[in-house]
Structure 1
Amino acid sequence: MHLSNNQTQSAIEEAGFTPFHLRLTIYSSGGPFLDGYILSIIGVALTQLTPQLHLGPFWSGLIGASALLGIFLGGFFGYLTDKIGRQLMYTLDFIILIVASVLQFWVQEGWQLFLLRLILGIAVGADYPIATSLLTEFAPKKHRGAMVGVTLFSYYIGATVAYLAGEWMLQIGPDAWRWILASSAIPAVILVLLRAGTPESPRWLLSRGRKDEADRIIKKVYGPEASVDEIDVPDKELEKTSFKKVFSKGYFKRIMYIGLFEMCQVAPLFAMLTFGPDMLKAYHLFEGSAGYGLAIISSFFLVGCIPALLLVNKLGRRPLMITSFSAMTVGILLLGIFPKGPAFIILAGFLIYAIFSGGPNVMDWLAPNELFPTEIRGTAVGAATSISRVGAFFGTYLFPIGLGRLGIGPTMLIGAAITFLGLIVCIALAPETTNKTLNESSSI
């Protein structure tokens, strides 16, 4: 028998943070790590492969944005993980990523690299709803914000590692870009091995009426005294997965909030990270060692996640988002207004924008996982990811074109306008779910 909505004490919601939760958090962070690595490493590789493959602005922009287009398509795999479960897809998507990573070594033309990076993006995009749904459904209430939020922390670890590794591998020679791009297979292989044996989500099993399997997993994870009957899963979660339900009355406002704030966040962000070397060259920063300069800037984003993780429960979800987007707008505005300003102003702009990006970074995965019930949670995360990557794709594709035609100042002012739109979205639509159980936060 399932508990009613007001019976919120459960084995999962009230559990402590165990070694199992730590392992699951680390393994689930693999997708964002590879996202950061794959999207950032191309910026370093493009400095070498662009002249070798005779790429113009059209193909360089398209290749830079191809993984984002793939993530848009991969987001629809969220529906599949709601249909067939979290555990199977949890390792299958990384196997595809390994193959595509290695094949990049042998590309000879721009279109070949575009297709392979499209496949890489699909694999990464598929992993977001899979891994975050599984993590959320095992996470205790008081640790959920940190457990899910830390997955985005790993994105910037991946980006920082990519810039440092790329700068180091450039010393290999004229074909270094091939080794640089294929290198993403190494962390993917490690993560596939680590993820082997991860149990299926008991909540998903219950939503499919597989109570005995769910009970065995609960006892294995939480001990023999734990029971599946303690899990707070309302009867409505026994309904079938439905893609249309994500966009139905009640949930439509939520998916628009998540998709739009993520779009406004990542459109300028991914453009800057992908074409970071060109951006730093335009600002005359870190000339001759763009990889190290970008690693420093990426570390700013990494540091920004720390206060966000600490404040997401204390300050609250909604105030955190409004404050973050306000400050991010100021930071990127400085970059647009003072394109030829002194280095300390430009660095201050990067620092403000990066540090306060921590709030939206944490909420990227926390919001969709909290605001939708089990039977459509993966679908919702995937849909939000896909909506956001539309903006990221066009922002990244158009960035080198805007840089060439408008210059760095006007290009960054456009980014400031997009970020300000994200602030308006948060003021108008952001809900408050702090200290609520999954049932309470996902109810409409």
Structure 2
Amino acid sequence: MSRFHLRITALTFGANFSDGYALGGIGIVLTVLTPAMGLSSLWQGILGSSMLVGVLVGSVVCGWLADRFGRRLVYQLDFIVIAVASAAQFFVDGPMWLLVLRLIIGFGVGADYALGPTMVTEFVPTRYRGGLLASLTVMWTVGYVAAFFIGSWLVNLSPDAWRWMLASGAIPALVVLLLRIGTPESPRWLIEKGRIEEARIVSARFLDGTLDIDKLASESSPAEPARYRDLFSVKHRKNTAFGIIFYNCQVIPYFAIYTFLPAILVLLGMEDGFSSGAILNIFLLFGGIAGLWAIAKIDRRPLTIYSFVIMAVTLTIVSVGTSWPMGVVVLAFAVFTFVMSGASNLDQVYPAELFPTRLRATGVGFLNGASRLGSAAGTFLLPVALSAFGLTATMLVLVAILVIGAVCSVLMAPETAHLSTEELGAH
């Protein structure tokens, strides 16, 4: 593994950090905006889920564009959108403009979700692929945790401090934008398009010639343009179906719970919401780090199955334990948080490993988009469900989603941990 492999991974951290920071920030900001703007539970759900809808569109559209026209251009330019829209949040004067800007931010993040894992998969050696892809999700967690602590401190400084909290997302976006200047095109995509000499130049300049261009070219033929219908062909439809179900069952409970964590803690009877939230955020961070070890040591299929089972059991305890000793509920919530964070590392690993090079960005983009459709619906409905049905019934619905994920993984999950980049999606 070379310094360039680490660089391309580090440059991909940006979307994950920005996504986590923006979603963690809106949860804190809504606690201030709700009374200030008189937001209904409907508006809270709309604003909480709006960025996820943008991610859906950005992933689907830009993933297809990247397979058609190359990874490099979109990978370099999407952070212009994120930086400008993030900074513009400072000037909003009502929920409608905030909704529009968060949809735009989501579009930029979604574009990078399709491109980032694709770039890492196509540049790094097989033995390091899982760990480096998993590290992208850890950066989502870092962004979310950073937003919790920064937002909790910032929003209490003045009535308009929420503006600074939202606009601060422009800072990491600008840094990533500048650092990405000069990023090369994926040599594997170039080979798929028959541009062998360009791939040879990229390999020589950035990979010290370690990628065997002649061997890859001899095993490949110029591919037909990527089409979304190919994801549902006989060869790929099982992996596509698994990816949709697995990804949604991971992110619907995650995004719904942690976007509205302060409100859930209050319903659980945790009077000191900041202390309880801080504990859970620490478990969230350390769970993500522990997940890197799990990705390196445990194959994809068993890790997916067992994590769903543990999450379903612990969230059940949280759901029905409102009359139990608070220590039991907090412990179960902490274990759920730890395992959820670690297992979510698979969200960046599995999608990139389910499809061949010619369909990879399209497939990753489609699965990211499909997952954000589910998570947006869950995040939109959570405050409405909490208001209408209460905490226990709402949490048990999320438990059922986790059980579906476990069953789907038992029946459909492929093992991709030890396949080379050229073997991915071929089975």
TM-score of the superposed pair, with normalisation by structure 2? 0.96
Q: Counterpart in 2 of 1:92? A: 77
Counterpart-to-counterpart distance in 2, 1:181 and 1:358: 24
Deviation for aligned residue 1:397: 0.7
Q: Does 1:42 align with 2:26?
A: yes
5 Å-filtered alignment, 1:35-434, equals 35-76=19-60, 77-223=62-208, 227-231=212-216, 234-235=219-220, 238-285=223-270, 287=272, 290=274, 293-434=276-417
Deviation for aligned residue 1:110: 1.3
CA distance in 1 between partners of 2:57 and 2:211 (Å): 39
Superposed displacement of residue 84, structure 1: 1.5
Q: Percent identity?
A: 38
* Partners of 2:356 and 2:423 within 8 A in 1: no
Q: Residue type of the partner of 2:78?
A: D
For 1:402 and 1:340, the matched residues in 2 are separated by 20
Amino acid across the alignment from 2:334: L
* Amino acid of the structure 2 residue aligned with 1:165: I
Instruction: Give the drift of 1:362.
Output: 2.0
**Is the 8 Å Cα contact of residues 357 and 422 (structure 2) preserved in structure 1?**
no
| C-alpha distance in 2 between matches for 1:280 and 1:391 | 23
Q: Distance in 1 between matches of 2:43 and 2:151?
A: 21
Change beyond 3 A, Cα 1:146–1:286: farther
Which sections of structure 1, spanning at least 5 residues, go unmatched? 1-16
The alpha-carbon distance between structure 1 residues 225 and 281, as it changes in their structure 2 partners (threshold 3 A), is closer
Give the distance between the partners of 1:233 and 1:355, measured in 2 at CA.
45
Q: What letter corresponds to residue 32 of structure 2 in structure 1?
A: Q
> Which amino acid in the other structure matches residue 29 of structure 2?
A
Q: What SS does the aligned partner of 1:235 have?
A: coil
Alignment root-mean-square deviation, CA: 1.7
Report the secondary structure of 2:156's partner residue.
Answer: helix
Q: Is the 8 A contact 1:34 1:184 kept in 2?
A: yes
Measured in 1, the distance between the counterparts of 2:242 and 2:98 equals 34
How far apart in 2 are the matches of 1:21 and 1:114? 37
Q: How has the CA–CA distance of structure 1 residues 225 and 385 changed in structure 2, closer, same or farther, with 3 Å as cutoff? A: closer
Q: Residue 55 of structure 2 contacts residue 106 of structure 2 at CA under 8 Å; is this kept in 1? A: yes
Q: CA deviation at 1:224?
A: 5.2
- Cα–Cα, structure 1 residues 87 and 301, in superposed 2: closer, same or farther, change >3 Å? same
Q: Which stretch of structure 1 is more off in the superposition, 219-228 or 77-86?
A: 219-228
Number of corresponding residues: 426
SS of structure 2 residue aligned to 1:357: helix
**Gaps spanning 5+ residues in structure 2: where?**
none
More displaced stretch, 154-163 vs 311-320: 311-320
8 A Cα contact 2:63 2:111, kept in partner: yes
Cα distance in 1 for partners of 2:239, 2:211 equals 33
> Is the counterpart of residue 24 in structure 1 residue 5 in structure 2?
no
- Secondary structure of 1:147 counterpart: helix
